[in-house]
Amino acid sequence: MTVRHERQAGLGRGLAALIPQRATGPGPTEIPIVSIRANPWQPRRRIDEEALESLTASIAEHGVIQPVLVTEMLDGYQLVAGERRLRAAQLAGLDRIPAVVRQLADREQLELALVENVQRADLGPLEEANAYRQLIEEFGLTQETVAARVGRARSTIANTLRLLELAPAIQAALSDGRLSEGHGRALIGLPPEVQTRLLDSIVGQALSVRQTEELVRRLREPKPVPPDRARPGQDADLERVEEDLRRSLGTKVSLARTRRGGRIVIEYYGNEELERLYERLIGGAA
């Protein structure tokens, strides 16, 4: 109980509070950059190039202020935390870099790399979800334990993990920034093929998270079947057109035949959505 409390309290003081300390261990030391290998447990898969260039310029002028964290190997060192600092130091032409050397197990390496990135808000939602899954599946941690280690609520861990259930196309859109985590959460639970069909509408029409949630809610509503359309197989083409319009406009659309033609009912929920539909319809007709 005491250990867990100390671990959670440490998050407020930064990554250094989580690093296992030796009672008489050495402080930071400079080591050759060429002797450091990449961290195989690094949860981050993308690095902002603009931010990296800025950090490189800073390091070229002032040097590396905060040491990286490494663990010692038989043939050198393995990076645990500080990937951007290491890359920037290489780009700045440095041969050596200040480092704190610790003996860490694989799980601790992933844990510390994850905590550093979470604290710096450096991870994308899927990178974070994959790191949580790795801690659970490969190292046997529970969601409660992961939550305690990274300073998050257990419900946050569970909701983030659910992003891994999304269709591949949605996950790709999350990874490249076309969709936000909120958009992804709104689509959870829909069949994969429906998620994929909605992607073009959400991105193409720049739907907000709220609008996406409303769209999903309408799609989940049971569609009433009028008496004149109750016979099996009747008006299949009309239903297909209705579905296409619903996906294209991002709102509920109803079609009904009459003796001399029919009618199209397009629903909207608020002035903002009415303006969006107006622009969509007028623009498409122009």
Q: Is the pLDDT of residue 111 over 60?
A: yes
What is the rounded average pLDDT of the residues 165-182? 92
pLDDT digits (tens, 9 = 90+) for 216-248: 888 777 555 555 554 444 567 777 888 888 877
* Residue 5 confidence (pLDDT) above 80: no
Percent of the chain with pLDDT over 70: 78
For this structure, is 116 an active site residue? no
**Average per-residue pLDDT for the chain:** 77
> With b meaning 16 or more CB within 10 Å and e meaning fewer, what string describes 246-271?
bbebbbbbebeeeeeeeeeeeeeeee
- Helices 271-285 and 236-249 pack at an angle, to 10 degrees, of 110
Highest-pLDDT range among 34-48, 108-122, 165-179: 165-179
pLDDT at position 16, please? 45
Position 15 scores a pLDDT of 44
Catalytic residue among 83, 111, 127, 128: 83
- Is the pLDDT reported for residue 124 higher than 60? yes
CATH 3.90.1530.10 boundaries in the chain: 2-162
Contact criterion met (CB below 8 Å) for 163 and 123: no
Lowest mean pLDDT among 106-120, 134-148, 186-200, 222-236: 222-236
The burial of 62, by beta-carbon neighbours within 10 Å (0-12 exposed, 13-18 middle, 19 or more buried), is given as: exposed
The CATH number fitting domain 2-162, selected from 3.90.1300.10, 1.20.1640.10, 3.90.1530.10, 3.30.1330.50: 3.90.1530.10
Task: List pLDDT tens digits, range 50-85.
Answer: 778 888 888 888 788 788 888 888 888 988 888 888
Higher model confidence: residue 198 or residue 4? 198
C-alpha distance across the termini of the chain, in Å: 67
Q: If phi over 0 gives left and psi between -120 and 50 gives alpha, with beta otherwise, what is residue 83?
A: alpha
Q: Model confidence over 251-278: pLDDT tens digits?
A: 778 887 777 778 888 887 667 778 778 8
Largest CA distance in the chain: 91
Asked if residue 200 lies in contact with residue 174, where contact means CB atoms within 8 angstroms, the answer is no
CA distances from 181 to 172, 188, 223, 272 (A): 12, 11, 29, 23
Whether this model's pTM surpasses 0.75: no
